[in-house]
């Protein structure tokens, strides 16, 4: 589930002190690869996809939030100091977040971009560091934020041909997203901490803009 909505934000620290803000509450809007009219003009807030996978043996859960899609490579990443990205984790099957992982971007005095991640399950504390680098959060947790080739596959021409002709016209060798970039936030966390005794998880992402 991809959403764009305004959410309350806790205070930021150190690297991104300028990001301490209060966000109002608004109506949720779906977003996916610039398809939602309300987010086309706001690429940083436009969530493209949310991916997640786990490794029981390693007690590891990895979640990836991608946004600002359809960027021509080697276009640079999209960072916005006024946005809060939230990974919501429901481990009680009530469609309400039991854990919220907060991610923000900000710049230091030299104009260099950094990322801050709070409440990552298993981490020893808030994770702060430069973008485009793997950051160690302790207890085998990790964070990465930066540009990546869009992993989503879709044959747009085949989709259009199918709609026009009524005949399935998809070609597995024709990828509309090949060579296009997204900006990604990769969160590697402790699976048992995220589960908190449960046996299943629901994950979704939201973005909130400074009001």
CA–CA dist 95, 171 (Å, integer):
36
Predicted confidence (pLDDT) per residue in 49-81, tens digit: 899 999 999 999 999 999 986 655 666 688 999
Q: Is the pLDDT of residue 18 over 70?
A: no
Q: By residue range, what is the domain housing residue 47?
A: 3-150+180-209
**Of 149, 90, 146, 141, nearest in space to 118 by CA:** 141
Q: Would residue 174 count as lying in a domain? A: no
Residue given tokens 């006024």 in the structure block? 82
**Of 81, 84, 86, nearest in space to 114 by CA:** 81
For residues 107 and 113, the answer to whether their CB atoms sit within 8 Å is yes
List phi, psi (to 5°) of 82.
-100, 10
Q: Does residue 165 sit in helix, strand or coil?
A: helix
pLDDT band at 126 (very low <50, low <70, confident <90, very high): very high
Q: Would residue 25 count as lying in a domain? A: yes
Predicted confidence (pLDDT) per residue in 137-174, tens digit: 999 999 999 998 777 777 778 888 899 999 998 888 87
pLDDT of residue 62: 97
For residues 209 and 23, the answer to whether their CB atoms sit within 8 Å is yes
Higher-scoring residue by pLDDT: 142, 6: 142
Which DSSP letter does residue 43 get?
G
- What's the total number of domains in the chain? 1
User: What is the model's pTM?
Assistant: 0.77
pLDDT of residue 72: 55
């Amino acid at each position: 589930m991809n959403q764009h909505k305004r959410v309350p934000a806790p205070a930021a620290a150190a690297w991104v002190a300028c990001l301490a803000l209060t966000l109002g509450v608004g109506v949720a809007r779906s977003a996916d690869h610039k398809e939602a009219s309300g987010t086309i003009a706001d690429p940083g807030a436009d969530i493209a996809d949310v991916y997640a996978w786990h490794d029981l043996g390693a007690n590891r859960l990895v979640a990836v939030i991608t946004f600002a899609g359809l960027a021509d490579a080697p276009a640079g990443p999209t960072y916005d100091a006024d946005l809060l990205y939230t990974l919501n984790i429901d481990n009680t099957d009530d469609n309400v977040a039991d854990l919220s992982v907060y991610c923000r971007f900000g710049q230091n005095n030299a104009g260099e971009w950094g990322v801050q991640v709070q409440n990552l399950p298993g981490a020893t504390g808030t994770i702060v560091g430069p973008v485009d680098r793997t950051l160690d959060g302790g207890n085998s947790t990790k964070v990465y934020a930066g540009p990546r080739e869009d992993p989503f596959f879709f044959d747009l021409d085949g989709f259009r041909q199918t709609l026009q002709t009524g005949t399935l016209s998809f070609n597995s060798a024709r990828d509309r997203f090949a060579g296009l970039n997204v900006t990604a936030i990769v969160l590697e966390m402790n699976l048992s901490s995220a589960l908190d005794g449960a046996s299943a998880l629901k994950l979704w992402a939201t973005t909130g803009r400074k009001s």
